[in-house]
Structure 1
Amino acid sequence: MHFTEQERETLYKVIFNRRDVRREFLPDPIPEAVIQRLLKAAHHAPSVGFMQPWDFIVITQSDTRRRIKEGFETANRESADLFDGERKTKYQSLKLEGIMEAPLGICITCDRQRTGNVVLGKTIKPEMDLFSAVCAAQNLWLAARAENLGMGWVSILHDDVLYEALGIPEHLEIIGYFCIGYVSEFQPSPELEKYGWQSRRDISQAIHYEKWSNTEKDQ
């Protein structure tokens, strides 16, 4: 399949305009057909040994989301105490989730035994199944942005909160909880950059050629 230049540019536009959304969510419901498109996109992520280790728990009930929000608040207080001085004050000023504001939550899990104990591609790096499930999260995120939906990853949350609130079997690993919904606007830059927590690293600092120490191509 050959993609046109316009299609290529659309993909890059989606990638560069993806945001971790926390504060702009609207309460508008998401049509079921859209939700199913998101899940189908996530389900088409690459996976080691084609094991497809992910599962998706779709959450819309406010009572369930409230329990998860309470878990976030506990973890957020613990996290704030790990910072000192101005950094702690800055942390406490940030909005780091939209659990109640977003009408949809999706929890992604990873079944590390889905296709047995010995899996093609996991024989040397057993963590590849976890990486595969994270690829599903990325697909979900890009599909959400293409649908003009905001999505935010709530990482400040103890796993036991999700195990209990969502009835997740103990043998599954939790990849993450994600808030999804229509938004009032998309920020032109990442929120943590906007509010001075961290700036984007220059790409030239992340690229090495041939060996780790070589950051410039030999002319």
Structure 2
Amino acid sequence: MTSPVFSDEFRLDLERLFTWRRDVRHFRRDPVVPALLDDLLQASTLAPSVGLSEPWRFVLVEDQARKAAVRNSFEVCNARALEGYEGEQAAGYAALKLAGLDDAPHHVAVFCETAPDQGHGLGRATMPETTTWSAVMAIHTFWLAATASGVGLGWVSILEPEAVSTMLDAEPGWDLVAYLCVGYPMEQANTPELERMGWEKRNPERRQWIRR
């Protein structure tokens, strides 16, 4: 098999893809074409995984009652989080609308089977958490594929993992890694929303590396 040769134009496009991959909070309500959503989820399975364990487990959440239960979990956790801020900072936090749970047409929960038989434990003896990291790699692959297709993705982390796992009848040994809102974004941007709203800014020091 002949190895592919990637052009300079492709590399520039890839850099643009990295730049325009954003954590989306505001979605249109029209659904993603089912075939496209399937293709994006299939793309996620091309991610690397420790020992070829492929520990990611994607769950499409379509039942409205389950979606509502997840939304309630978010409300509880969001209220607790607001208690940690005061004045303008609290208002700014609330204004961020930290979830697209109401508008995103698709919800995808991503679990990690932390001790899968597949892979025979290779590479996990001293760092078993590599299975979780492998699941995160699948999420990032899904994210990039979605961005390239004009689809937005928002990662909701203000949730109760065990409660959400119960709501979704997760299998024993599955840990919730992410709850994703998926759909067409209301707008696209090449800078993070947190930065645009003045909540945080990038640290130039994080763009450097250490030599030992």
Partner of 1:207: 208
- Mapping for residues 1-40 of structure 1, pairs under 5 Å: 1-23=4-26, 25-40=27-42
> What is the distance in 2 between the residues matched to 1:209 and 1:12?
23
Task: Measure, in 2, the Cα distance between the counterparts of 1:37 and 1:61.
Answer: 22
Q: Which amino acid aligns with 2:67?
A: R
* 1:113 aligned to which of 112, 115, 124: 115
Name the SS of the counterpart of 2:122 in structure 1.
coil
Question: What secondary structure sits across from 1:200 in the alignment?
Answer: coil
**1:91 is matched with which residue?**
93
Q: Does the Cα contact within 8 Å between 2:51 and 2:120 map onto a contact in 1?
A: no
Q: Which amino acid aligns with 1:69?
A: R
Shift in alpha-carbon separation, 1:171–1:86, aligned structure 2, 3 A: same
TM-score, structure 1 as length reference: 0.89
104, 107, 112: which one aligns with 2:106 = 104
Native 8 Å contact 1:60 1:103 kept in 2? no
> What is the letter of the counterpart of residue 55 of structure 2?
P
Q: Structure 2 vs 1, CA of residues 53 and 199 (structure 1 numbering), >3 Å: closer, same or farther?
A: same
The whole-number CA distance in structure 1 between the counterparts of 2:155 and 2:74 is: 12
Deviation at residue 172 of structure 1 after TM alignment = 0.8
Corresponding residue number in structure 2 for 1:81: 83
Report the residue type matching 1:106 in the other structure.
V
Q: Percent identity?
A: 33
> Is the CA contact 1:44–1:136 (under 8 Å) kept in the aligned structure 2?
yes
The corresponding residue for 1:141 is: 143
Query: Partner of 2:153 in structure 1?
Result: 151
Find the counterpart in structure 2 of residue 178 from structure 1.
Answer: 180
Kept after mapping to 2: 8 A contact 1:66/1:100: no
Tell me the residue number matched to 2:52: 50
Task: Single out whichever of 119-128 and 138-147 deviates more from structure 2.
Answer: 119-128
For residues 120-163 of structure 1, the C-alpha deviation after alignment (integer angstroms, 9 at most, x for no partner) is 11112111111111000101111110110111000000112321
Superimposed CA distance per residue, residues 25-50 of structure 1 (whole angstroms, 9 cap, x where no aligned partner): 11112111111111111111100001
- TM-score, L = length of structure 2: 0.92
CA contact (8 A) 2:59 2:110 kept: yes
- SS for the counterpart of 1:22 is coil
State yes or no: 1:62 paired with 2:64. Answer: yes
Cα contact 1:26–1:182 (8 A) shared by 2:
yes
In the TM superposition, residue 182 of structure 1 has moved relative to its aligned partner by 1.0
Matched position secondary structure for 2:29: coil
Q: Structure 1 residue 167: deviation in Å? A: 0.9
Deviates more, 1:129-138 or 1:6-15: 6-15
